[in-house]
Amino acid sequence: MFSFSEENYLKAIFHLERKYQAGVSTNALAEEMETKASSVTDMIKKLSEKELVIYKKYQGVKLSELGNKTAIKVIRKHRLWEYFLVEKLDFNWDEVHDIAEQLEHIKSEKLTQELDKFLGFPKRDPHGDPIPDAQGNFSVANKMLLAELDKAEKGICVGVKDSSSEFLRFLDKNNISLGKEIKVLEKEAFDGSMLILIEERELRISQLISNNLYIKTQ
């Protein structure tokens, strides 16, 4: 149906649309895709001809209904495979993204559905991101950033905003993982760092960390 490259562009536009509802600029897309703006223009034209995106010259780009549906299918496969790798093949959560980048392009509706069934229809991937169901619906969670919590508040760690392996390994090293309760003991106004309590251990974390951890409060 669509090429790997086309699917990757659609996925990138989908993610950037959360940030720029008015339309995704050529440069933003070029940065996300780690390519040149001229290449992006070329690809956008092709996607536009295939009616996957709405595009007017110099006005940025948006996904069409079809483009949106297609992007969600790719994201669904990406996250199902990540879940598979962690839950069935014992991969660590920092090792799965690059392999899922390949697996997300495998074309077979039946494979996706059977994999979903085999995994027990998981709702979230190893990084806490929602896995769209077969109809493309995401389950939304009312999560917030740890950095937004006030002193003495607590919540359950439910996801990461940055899912780079560097950040994930930092969390592993400090025994922070999804499902654990975190309580804010102190907040330092000067540098935004905070002292947290996690599993009876006290830990000081910088604002960079608390800004990339999602928390669900009861």
Residues found near Mn ion in the complex (CB under 5 A)? 82, 97, 125, 127, 129
Q: Is 141 exposed, middle or buried (0-12, 13-18, 19+ CB in 10 A)?
A: middle
| Structure-block tokens of residue 51 | 């009616």
Q: Three-class SS of residue 155? A: strand
Residue count, binding to DNA (CB under 7 A): 25
If one asks whether residue 217 binds DNA (CB under 7 A), the answer comes out as no
**Partner whose footprint covers residue 174, from Mn ion, a copy of itself, DNA, none (CB < 5 to 8 Å by kind):** none
For residue 105 the two structure tokens come to 């392009």
Please give the DSSP secondary-structure letter assigned to residue 124. B
Binding flag, residue 91, a copy of itself (CB under 8 A): yes
- The reply on whether position 102 binds DNA by CB under 7 A is no
Whichever of 56 and 88 has its CB closer to Mn ion, that residue is 88
Within 60-89, which residues bind a copy of itself (CB under 8 A)? 85, 88-89
Residues 48-77 that bind DNA (CB under 7 A): 55, 57-60
- Classified as helix, coil or strand, 88 is coil
CA separation (Å) from 102 to 54, 56, 106?
Answer: 27, 31, 8
Binding residues for DNA, rule: CB under 7 A, are 3-6, 25-28, 35-46, 55, 57-60
